[in-house]
Structure 1
């Protein structure tokens, strides 16, 4: 039976495409995907698909660390309270308490799998502090390469347990959906593509989406090139509900060197005592917030943008000159190396920084067990909206979320797959070619030009600050592009990524238009204050049968803090 409506992207017919059958399919190989893989029962067949090399994910680029209550002077209540405050009264308190209480055991499990965290000479873990945290509770590795060390250990563990079940360099084009016994649509796997083998149908009893973020829709971003929102877009096309898509977290301190790629300057730099100064050398954060450099990311990002406007300068600067030079270089070796490429000694020279898109708070809506609204589809990590982060993620809670929800997704999918008999067969799905709307352009597309235009538009009109007219203008431009880009039957990942980025950008803007207030990372100049009476609720998005975006609001929730 064909999908309810054509979904653009590639036309297909099963008879012309090879088939592969598995019990559990995991799309994405970051921390959430690999943690899910470890929970799949050994008798089950498992396939993990990543669109790049296994080590290329947002997880691998994480610098700061993982938050967890490991200090006797700290407690779960403190970590919960810090998370709720950062989340701007939009967190799910039950979710926050669940994740925070599981953090210590999740960190200890990583250590059992071989992850080596920085420790004092006596073996006691070094605990750092970052913006928004009331206590030192951040474990880190290799100074500022925590994600790299965690992924090294997890990849090694998965490869040992699941030899031959990893498909790197494979692009997931779309989820496969069909009507279930109750006539409701359900996920049955995915259509994937590899440069060497072309397209393949991967039929699965259960599918777990762990595709990461979408920071590449912005011109200024800390995210690697792979973060194009593919999971968000394919889940939307498949009919899953998404939530909180207006909440993109901008990291306040991204290395700003004109013409170079943007590098993250971890939150831990400010946690260790770095000062933010403007182009005139003045420390300015104390004038915006009593917590100064240790204020949550949304406050620091907004303050930096305001200070840049006041000084009419393209960036501000991080200064570590008042700290010990040897200690600074030893604590942040990765940042020191990256800055030295541009002749900047972080121990003595100010580091030019400005905000950049960093972490997607919104995504596929999941419950506490990582179930989505689409049967047979689970999701974990940055691709989701779980209720942990609310309107602003507390630093170093993201890797933790990936571990906790990855475990739940893997365990739940494994349990249901074990309960289902091995009646593998191909479902006769079809996705016929879609005719372009009348008047749509038929000339060849310059994909790079459209992508650059989209990224600039999103940064300019839906960035740290946004307002109604700028969002309206952005949506009009995106609709013009989608009319002649989405119906195209493109044949390679660059084209599919652009289609996904257009869909995700439209969803982000639709949600931002709906939320007529400022809350957490969502800052509107035309509605500059939070409105708890009207907006202590979530904006949910789903696809209509005609392919249009339907915007809904959840009932008003009780205060979370």
Structure 2
């Protein structure tokens, strides 16, 4: 494992040459990144693999705040890039930040052509909001907090209307198939209740991973249950370089109502003046940072976490700042509150930090290429260097569309002359080994508890070594369950990188190394071989945490 830029191919990404007739372009994942990439590849033949019906399993669907882009008066792409670099804790790839910021306005226009109804005033100007660490109002929204759902609905309609895109719903990627040093296809699993119960192999001329994040590895998360981080493990097993896995962003204001996944109270609420108070009625954020509730997310999340550890409940107070306009301006959060039995116009909203976004992932270059020939990654599963140690609010949707377009352009450049039309069909290769779902659920619950307890908002060497030992024990009893095995491998990569980063930076906070070390202002690059670099502690303490809680 290396902190720096010369790591096992991390800066020398795989070349790509077309293999005519070897298969469709296969995109694993049907969130914003996957669908946008598919649309940009048209009319080349694309097969999109969706674990759930389109729109039901994607984190993009749940994005509330919006998509950041420098489209407002007085703003500029240079300012946006500078804010991104500032928020990223000293390890943002500045070239990537400039690319994403400068190409952002064009991608907003692309989304408009696909029918996304961004909020505008009577003169046609975008209605923009300001979120934490942005120097300008630049978050483009839809119906207040419905940006993710609106964008996804528009793209789903466009995909359904594009003949060159085939969608296979109800399949999950199980493994990458490689031969002669290149990725040549994917192995899928279709669950028995969906009419499958067997492995399926799909050959591919190119494979794009767009599977989202790692939220389901943690006990409290805002991500859908499909965000298990499996693609990171599949790529790592195939030999891919993984970058910055230790950097996990915890959203400070998940609604703490015992719902899994936890509903999100968007940061835009705080942008409109909502404040955080504890059970004593004290507005505690001003004691920590002059920016108060609009301090960077890692600071807010850690402060909320410590309030909860001290036995004080934390609430979001929207009564004066938003009040009677809540339902009209933030309909998604309103519905979440109603589901939890809360009237935010009159009552405080209980909140807690929840895993929200993974800044790390499969290392890619500016074209979205991984270190493996024939494999690209885009969206949250990728680590482009844009987010550094701490993602700037609402930059994730922007990264997905900017790199979706770049991945499509790169693949298109290598596939000129490939015939149009689907040239392969999935073929069954073998039945999967039977999985005891009760055992899987039990082991998955323990995995999520381990990650939240020892690899969560605050970390220590002792806790991380404990986590590594627990995960190794879980791995030993889950070898026949590929889903669980992939989740555990990704969790081990996160914990190992966190153990080796002996400092605090962005979303990674070490209580035993609370200061940022300027000498470590470098990215992490690692492979699966690095997991054997250290032995965890011999006897871990007993595990004590309730699955859906993050405070006593």
TM bin, normalised by shorter chain, reads 0.7 to 0.9
* Matched residue, 2:521: 536
Secondary structure (helix, strand or coil) at the match of 1:485 reads: coil
Is 2:474 the partner of 1:481?
yes
Distance in 2, Cα, partners of 1:433 & 1:77 = 51
Q: Deviations over 1:186-221 (max 9, x none)?
A: 110101122424322111111111111011100010
Q: Label 1:550 to 1:346 Cα distance change in 2 as closer, same or farther (>3 A).
A: same
Offset of residue 497 of structure 1: 2.6
* Matched residue, 1:449: 442
Distance in 2, Cα, partners of 1:260 & 1:410 = 35
Secondary structure (helix, strand or coil) at the match of 2:300 reads: helix
Distance in 2, Cα, partners of 1:340 & 1:444 = 32
Distance in 1, Cα, partners of 2:38 & 2:373 = 19
- Summarize the alignment of residues 49-448 of structure 1 with structure 2, pairs less than 5 Å apart: 49-56=49-56, 57-162=58-163, 165-179=166-180, 185-195=181-191, 196-197=195-196, 198-258=198-258, 261-310=261-310, 312-313=311-312, 315-418=313-416, 446-448=439-441
Distance in 1, Cα, partners of 2:85 & 2:219 = 30
For the Cα contact (< 8 Å) 1:21–1:202, is it kept in 2? no
Cα RMSD after superposing both structures: 2.5
Is 2:497 the partner of 1:511?
yes
Secondary structure (helix, strand or coil) at the match of 1:318 reads: strand
Q: Label 1:59 to 1:466 Cα distance change in 2 as closer, same or farther (>3 A).
A: same
Distance in 1, Cα, partners of 2:45 & 2:355 = 37
Offset of residue 261 of structure 1: 4.5
* Matched residue, 1:559: none
Offset of residue 481 of structure 1: 1.1
For the Cα contact (< 8 Å) 1:245–1:362, is it kept in 2? yes
Distance in 2, Cα, partners of 1:497 & 1:174 = 10
For the Cα contact (< 8 Å) 1:22–1:46, is it kept in 2? no
For the Cα contact (< 8 Å) 1:113–1:157, is it kept in 2? yes
For the Cα contact (< 8 Å) 1:99–1:400, is it kept in 2? yes
Q: Label 1:51 to 1:457 Cα distance change in 2 as closer, same or farther (>3 A).
A: same
Q: Label 1:109 to 1:433 Cα distance change in 2 as closer, same or farther (>3 A).
A: closer
Count, aligned residues: 505
Structure 2 gaps, min length 5: 1-20, 535-552
Offset of residue 259 of structure 1: 5.7
Distance in 2, Cα, partners of 1:286 & 1:538 = 31
Give every structure 1 segment of 4 or more consecutive aligned residues whose post-TM-superposition deviation is greater than 3 Å: 258-261, 419-422, 430-434, 442-445, 547-551
For the Cα contact (< 8 Å) 1:86–1:394, is it kept in 2? yes
For the Cα contact (< 8 Å) 1:24–1:414, is it kept in 2? no
* Matched residue, 1:438: none
Offset of residue 109 of structure 1: 1.3
Q: Label 1:444 to 1:167 Cα distance change in 2 as closer, same or farther (>3 A).
A: closer
Is 2:24 the partner of 1:28?
no
Q: Label 1:146 to 1:352 Cα distance change in 2 as closer, same or farther (>3 A).
A: same
Q: Label 1:519 to 1:102 Cα distance change in 2 as closer, same or farther (>3 A).
A: same
Distance in 2, Cα, partners of 1:456 & 1:151 = 31
Secondary structure (helix, strand or coil) at the match of 2:187 reads: strand
Offset of residue 162 of structure 1: 3.0
Distance in 2, Cα, partners of 1:122 & 1:194 = 50
Q: Label 1:25 to 1:228 Cα distance change in 2 as closer, same or farther (>3 A).
A: same
Secondary structure (helix, strand or coil) at the match of 1:447 reads: helix
Q: Deviations over 1:35-84 (max 9, x none)?
A: 11122241x32111111111020111111100011111111222112111
Secondary structure (helix, strand or coil) at the match of 1:478 reads: helix
Between 475-484 and 338-347, report the one with greater CA deviation.
338-347
Distance in 1, Cα, partners of 2:142 & 2:518 = 39
Offset of residue 21 of structure 1: 5.8
Q: Label 1:444 to 1:232 Cα distance change in 2 as closer, same or farther (>3 A).
A: closer
